[in-house]
């Protein structure tokens, strides 16, 4: 068994930009990436976290064949997975067929190729002999993952997880577990989701889209802003010799709220169990957690439920926490990937990221998130939470790596 | 590689395609028995009803006292709810939409519904990787069962065929060489060998779309029977004496048909005492190839 799961590469794309430098810049400055929707036409007055590059621009950046149809979910995933892959130096191992190491890719998505499918379906429903079949090839969630695997040259274990908004956290957890039990030596893990009409209308039908910028953990919060993006990590077993080490995966747990298909329980049972079990697995004391990147969507229900769970675990000593969804919007299946990257950047560079648009604590829960960017000399461990429809709750813990890294 | 052996201690399945061919007790049950609330039953699409019923039957017949996880695999996900919501967007010009079909369009709906109906708060995961979704769910379960506190996990593979899916695959030319299928099969995977254990899982492996890697050999594996869902079996088996059954003649073509083949393997162990080792080889359309090797469980 490999008990040390090293984090050796990160890649991310959100409304704050492409790449981790853009994220650090945006998070430090406190400037939100949320703006009115411009990617496609909808009758909804929605503010969203769009990645400010068109599909054609991303195809150009990635040097992909121009005649092929790629879903935006695939393109965003490719950007982030490639950055993580390059960041970890895996491209050098790839030249040597990974020195015989077992490498896999576990991605996550909730919408898959829906952005393309909904265009197809508009034509198809009027005349079922019409519609370009090539547009359907990317509909299945697994297709985006398979394209990323092909692009990176990963031929080992490849799979896709879809547990709504907790999807990417589950992908990271599976990668860690596969390394732990020796099924993989290296795992590229994360998630990707693009904005599409389907989800804008879906969340609108649930009445949980805020027309204003979202206000996580604030008494006046009135819903979420959707976002898009991707976040990937490279995890390696301690038997490999990585270029650099951002930290280690020290705890993970998945639990189900088993309360309602979309709503969370008032006492935050699923969130409580996920955090509690992850902390128990890590062997850490509550006082060793220096930052929590909360799920904090800005919906009345999620934040009250997650707040209740935080209070149940930490009592009056809740560690510094923030929701970064005021910067990126809720990136759904990618959220766990994006926010794991934010949590690891916090751990590695010593920043506690601000929670935008907060002024008044929620009634009955005197929880105050960090509202400005704080620099810390040392960070020991951080938690990131992602919860989704169907009661799916997953918490991950990343801890700093003590030993000196092997260079080269 | 994994320390703890994993057994199949309970099975249940619904295979409308097999039922249509006249096989008894494999079709859709009376759902009233499993989802008594008529409102809830009406809201559920067919894949949810099939999934929830087969999961609950599997749990009921397992007689287990604790369940530590629910893991599902689905290649196509909740197609009819997805299409229903898409249609409502166009029909109602994005206004006053009913959220039910949107809520039920996410692929984790079945795993979530089973958790809700059983009050099960433990591990819950869903895989959506085309033709190897169920295989990934099994691998996740094998890993989870290595943990000390984990004895039983419910694992299922399911897909629904809808008129639109069938029509589109027809336009792509798929039905020229195979026929439409669907089904839902659930298993209690356990780290505990019981008198009632049906099978032991020896290996679950997934490969690339190109098939088995060079040099991969099945010769050393003792196999009594092959259940194949691969169009052309050539190159997979070197020993031609092993009988090969094309299981898709029974269940039809769909991404998680490996779950059907695993159910069929367990059913074979129950009925035919001369068969002790079964290899399942499968490939859905152009997706990845998979191998599952199971043997009869003996206490």
- Write the DSSP string, A306-347: HHHHHHHHHTT-PPSEE--HHHH-B-GGGHHHHHHHHHHHHH
- Write the DSSP string, chain B: --SS-EEEEEEEEE-HHHHHTT-TT-S---GGGT---HHHHHHS-HHHHHHHHHHHHHHHHHT-S---EEEEE-SS-SHHHHHHHHHHHHHTTTSS--THHHHTTSTTHHHHHHHHHHT--SEEEEE--GGGHHHHHHHHHHHHTTSTT--EEEEEEEE---HHHHHHHHHTTGGGTS-B--EEEEEEEESS--TT--EEEEEEEE-BTTBSPTT---TTS--SEEEEE-S--TTT-S-TTS-EEETHHHH-B-TTHHHHHHHHHHHHHHH-TT--EEEEEEE-TTS-EEEEEEEE---
Q: What is the pLDDT of residue B197?
A: 98
For residue B196, what are its two tokens? 């009632």
Judge whether residue B121 has pLDDT over 50: yes
Give the count of alpha carbons within 13 A of A222, CB side only: 6
pTM exceeds 0.95, yes or no: yes
Q: Does A211 touch chain B (CB under 8 A)?
A: no
- Using CA atoms, how far apart are residues B281 and B234, in angstroms rounded to an integer? 12
What percent of chain B clears pLDDT 90, i.e. is strictly above it? 88
Q: What is the pLDDT of residue B237?
A: 59
* Number of Cβ within a 10 Å radius of residue A300: 15
Rg (CA), chain A: 20
Q: What would the mean pLDDT of B187-204 be, rounded to a whole number?
A: 97
Q: Cβ separation of B89 and A181 shorter than 8 Å? A: no
| CA distance to A354, B62, B112, per residue, from B65 (Å) | 46, 9, 20
A204 contacts in B (CB within 8 Å)? 94, 97
* Number of Cβ within a 10 Å radius of residue B245: 18
Q: What would the mean pLDDT of B244-254 be, rounded to a whole number?
A: 96
Q: Cβ separation of B116 and A258 shorter than 8 Å? A: yes
Strands A17-18 and B289-296 come out as unpaired
- Using CA atoms, how far apart are residues B30 and B49, in angstroms rounded to an integer? 10
Element (H, E) at A200: helix A197-205
Q: What is the pLDDT of residue B187?
A: 98
Tell me the average pLDDT of chain B: 94
- Enumerate residues 353 to 382 of chain A having a beta carbon within 8 A of any beta carbon in chain B: none
Q: What is the pLDDT of residue B213?
A: 76
- Using CA atoms, how far apart are residues A257 and A165, in angstroms rounded to an integer? 14
Backbone angles phi, psi at B20, to 5 degrees: -65, -20
Of 3.40.47.10, 3.30.460.20, 3.40.1280.10, 2.30.30.60, the CATH number of A5-399 is 3.40.47.10
In a structure prediction context, what are the per-residue pLDDT tens digits for chain A, which is 408 residues long? 888 999 999 999 999 999 999 999 999 999 999 999 999 999 999 999 999 999 999 999 999 999 999 999 999 999 999 999 999 999 999 988 898 999 999 999 999 999 999 999 999 999 999 999 988 888 899 999 999 999 999 999 999 999 999 999 999 999 999 999 999 999 999 999 999 999 999 999 999 999 999 999 999 999 999 999 999 999 999 999 898 999 999 999 999 999 999 999 999 999 999 999 999 999 999 999 999 999 999 999 999 999 999 999 999 999 999 999 999 999 999 999 999 999 999 999 999 999 999 999 999 999 999 999 999 999 999 999 999 999 999 999 999 997 444 443
Contacting residues for B53 by C-beta, under 8 A, at least 6 apart:
B14, B28, B29, B31, B33, B34, B35, B184
pLDDT band at B144 (very low <50, low <70, confident <90, very high): very high
Element (H, E) at A115: helix A114-124
B199-222 pLDDT, tens digit each: 999 999 999 888 777 777 776 678
Q: Is the ipTM of this complex over 0.85?
A: yes
Domains with residue ranges and CATH for chain B: 6-190 (3.40.47.10), 199-296 (no CATH)
Q: What is the pLDDT of residue B232?
A: 67
For residue B185, what are its two tokens? 């099969």
Q: What is the pLDDT of residue B235?
A: 56
Contacting residues for B168 by C-beta, under 8 A, at least 6 apart:
A124, A133, A136
Q: Cβ separation of B120 and A256 shorter than 8 Å? A: yes
Q: Which of B83, B121, B168 sits opposite A256 (nearest CB)?
A: B121
Could you list the beta-strand ranges (E) of A127-177: 158-161
- Using CA atoms, how far apart are residues A318 and A321, in angstroms rounded to an integer? 8
B55-109 pLDDT, tens digit each: 999 999 999 999 999 999 999 999 999 999 999 999 999 999 999 999 999 999 9
Contact B10, B59 (CB under 8 A): yes
Min Cα distance B191 → chain A (Å) is 16
Q: Which of A44, A161, A177 sits opposite B94 (nearest CB)?
A: A44
* Number of Cβ within a 10 Å radius of residue A316: 6
- Enumerate residues 215 to 254 of chain A having a beta carbon within 8 A of any beta carbon in chain B: 254
Q: Which of A146, A170, A198 sits opposite B125 (nearest CB)?
A: A170
Min Cα distance B270 → chain A (Å) is 31
- Using CA atoms, how far apart are residues B52 and B159, in angstroms rounded to an integer? 12
Q: What is the pLDDT of residue A404?
A: 42
Q: What is the pLDDT of residue B219?
A: 67
Contact B219, B242 (CB under 8 A): no
Contacting residues for B212 by C-beta, under 8 A, at least 6 apart:
B235, B236, B289
Q: What would the mean pLDDT of B255-259 be, rounded to a whole number?
A: 98
Q: What is the pLDDT of residue A149?
A: 97
Backbone angles phi, psi at B101, to 5 degrees: -70, -30
Backbone angles phi, psi at B129, to 5 degrees: -115, 65
Q: Which residue of B has its CA nearest to A145?
A: B129
């Amino acid at each position: 068994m490999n008990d040390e799961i090293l984090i050796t590469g990160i890649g991310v794309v959100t409304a704050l930009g492409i790449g981790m430098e853009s994220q650090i810049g945006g998070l430090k400055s406190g400037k939100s990436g949320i703006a009115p929707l411009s990617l496609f036409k909808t009758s909804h007055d929605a503010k969203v976290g769009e990645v400010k590059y068109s599909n054609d621009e991303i195809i150009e950046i990635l040097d992909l064949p121009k005649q092929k149809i790629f879903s935006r979910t695939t393109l965003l995933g490719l950007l982030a997975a490639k950055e993580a892959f390059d960041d970890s130096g895996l491209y050098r191992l790839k030249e040597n067929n990974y020195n015989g190491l077992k490498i896999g890719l576990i991605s996550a998505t909730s919408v898959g190729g829906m952005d393309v499918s909904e265009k197809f379906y508009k034509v198809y429903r009027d005349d079922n002999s019409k519609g370009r079949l090539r547009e359907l090839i990317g509909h299945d969630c697994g297709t985006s993952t398979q394209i990323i695997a092909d692009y990176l040259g990963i031929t080992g274990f490849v799979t896709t997880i879809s547990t709504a908004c907790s999807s990417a956290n589950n992908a990271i957890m599976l990668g860690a577990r596969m390394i732990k039990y020796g099924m993989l030596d290296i795992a590229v893990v994360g998630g990707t989701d693009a904005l599409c009409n389907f989800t804008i209308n879906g969340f609108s039908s649930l009445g949980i889209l805020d027309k204003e910028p979202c206000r996580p953990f604030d008494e006046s919060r009135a819903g979420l802003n959707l976002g898009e993006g991707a976040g990937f990590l490279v995890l390696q077993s301690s038997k490999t010799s990585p270029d650099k080490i951002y930290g280690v995966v020290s705890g993970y747990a998945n639990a189900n709220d088993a309360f309602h298909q979309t709503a969370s329980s008032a006492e935050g049972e699923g969130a409580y169990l996920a955090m509690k079990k992850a902390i128990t697995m890590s062997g850490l004391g509550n006082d060793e957690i220096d930052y929590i990147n909360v799920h904090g969507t800005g919906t009345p229900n999620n934040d009250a439920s997650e707040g209740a769970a935080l209070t149940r675990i930490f009592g009056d000593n809740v560690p510094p926490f923030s929701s970064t969804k005021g910067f990126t919007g809720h990136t759904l299946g990618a959220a766990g990937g994006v926010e794991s990257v934010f949590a690891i950047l916090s751990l590695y560079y010593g920043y506690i990221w601000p929670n935008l648009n907060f002024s008044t604590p929620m009634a009955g829960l005197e929880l105050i998130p960090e509202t400005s960017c704080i620099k810390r000399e040392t960070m020991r461990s951080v938690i990131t939470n992602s919860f989704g429809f169907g009661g799916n709750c997953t918490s991950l813990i990343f801890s700093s790596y003590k030993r000196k890294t092997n260079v080269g | 590689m994994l320390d703890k052996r994993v057994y199949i201690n309970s099975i249940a399945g619904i295979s409308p395609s097999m039922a249509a061919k006249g096989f008894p007790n494999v079709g859709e049950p009376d759902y009233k028995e499993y989802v008594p609330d008529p409102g809830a039953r009406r809201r559920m699409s067919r894949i949810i009803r099939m999934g929830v019923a087969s999961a609950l039957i599997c749990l009921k017949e397992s007689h287990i006292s604790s369940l530590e996880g629910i893991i599902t695999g689905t290649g196509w996900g909740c197609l009819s709810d997805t299409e229903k919501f898409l249609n409502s967007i166009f029909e109602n010009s994005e206004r006053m939409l009913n959220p039910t079909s949107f809520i039920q369009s996410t692929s984790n709906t079945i795993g979530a519904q089973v958790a809700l109906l059983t009050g099960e708060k433990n591990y819950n995961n869903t895989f959506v990787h085309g033709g190897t979704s169920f295989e990934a769910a099994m691998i996740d379960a094998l890993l989870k069962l290595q943990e000390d506190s984990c004895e039983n996990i419910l694992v299922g593979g399911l897909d629904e065929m809808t008129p639109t899916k069938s029509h589109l695959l027809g336009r792509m030319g798929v039905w020229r060489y195979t026929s439409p299928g669907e089904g839902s099969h659930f298993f209690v995977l356990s780290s505990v060998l019981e008198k009632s254990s049906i099978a032991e899982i020896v290996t679950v492996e997934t490969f690339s779309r190109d098939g088995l890697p060079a040099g991969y050999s099945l010769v050393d594996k003792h196999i009594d029977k092959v259940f194949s869902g691969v169009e052309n079996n050539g190159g997979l088996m070197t020993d031609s004496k092993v009988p090969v059954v094309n299981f898709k003649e029974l269940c039809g073509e769909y991404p998680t048909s490996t779950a059907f083949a695993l159910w069929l393997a367990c059913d074979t162990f129950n009925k035919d005492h001369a068969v002790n080792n079964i290899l399942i080889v499968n490939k859905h359309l152009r997706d990845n190839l998979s191998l599952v090797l199971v043997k009869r469980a003996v206490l």
